[in-house]
Chains A and B, each alone.
Chain A
């Protein structure tokens, strides 16, 4: 039996990464459900918006914790540059780099909500559509660099998150009526 105390920051970083992915997925799914008008009950929209905003802020905190805790890992010793600049970490640079990009993208797109008046609602809305890219990049990061990706529970978690997001995204992007949108008169 060995003492794994020296690995606590590594374990904590992984644990926060898992929860960050979960929270990001929930936030993106709620955002897509709102924009796609999947839930039309009166009063629910405001509650969902409130939850979406809160979940996004917590996700950003979890991403910071995920990267920040790695700084204290005595085995990896990444340094501030490696966790903030994409593709500079020695460990699986491509996939960890994509994770860094996903983190920055989530931060920029999430916090741009508070600069909506300055950048304009239309620009913000256009920007916000790219949130799905942050989710996809995070997913690729987990698949490529995640230690627990081969675990059945992790696969179940990723599938359970991605399937509703794929549905909500398709529902949002596809036209309501293909006949009307194509302009055909039948």
Chain B
């Protein structure tokens, strides 16, 4: 017994393909919306800048802080002596760590 294949109408095939492609595209956009929202909300609830003081024996005299600048680059700032008592307040910036 030989298997016979139904002749497909190219117009019908194109219409059916269009429908499937469009449905899949809508599904893909909806699927992409979920991780996008999660990323956005996560970024929204992140602190404005990451400032870390290194705890070391000399921390009382000097303070080293890591500041993330507006451009996204990380900068290490060391303040010695009396200036260490003054807090380094970084400008609230966006962090690109993700």
Contacts and interface: CB of A to CB of B under 8 A. Distances in A.
Bound pair: A and B?
A: yes
Interface of A: 1-4, 6-8, 10-12, 14-16, 18-19, 22-23, 50-51, 53-55, 57-58, 61-62, 75, 147-148
A14 to B, nearest CB: 7
Given A8-B40, A11-B43, A61-B25, A1 B48 contact: yes
Interface stretch (B54-62, B74-82, B89-97): B89-97
Interface centre among B20, B33, B46 (most CB of A within 10 A): B20
Interface of B: 13, 16-17, 20-21, 24-25, 28, 31-36, 39-40, 43-48, 72, 92-96, 98
Nearest to A65: B32
B43 A55 contact: no
Given A15-B33, A15-B34, A148-B98, 14 more contacts: A1-B44, A3-B44, A4-B43, A4-B44, A7-B43, A11-B39, A15-B39, A18-B35, A50-B16, A51-B20, A58-B21, A58-B28, A62-B28, A62-B32
B94 A54 contact: no
A58 B28 CA distance: 8
A90 B61 CA distance: 39
A1 B34 CA distance: 21
B32 A12 contact: yes
B94 A6 contact: yes
B31 to A, nearest CB: 5
Given A11-B39, A11-B43, A16 B32 contact: yes
A79 to B, nearest CB: 18
B97 to A, nearest CB: 9
A145 to B, nearest CB: 13
Given A11-B40, A62-B28, A2 B94 contact: yes
A11 to B, nearest CB: 4
A2 B48 contact: yes
A11 B36 contact: yes
A3 B46 CA distance: 10
A174 to B, nearest CB: 25
Contact of A15 (B36, B46, B72): B36
Given A2-B48, A50-B20, A23 B28 contact: yes
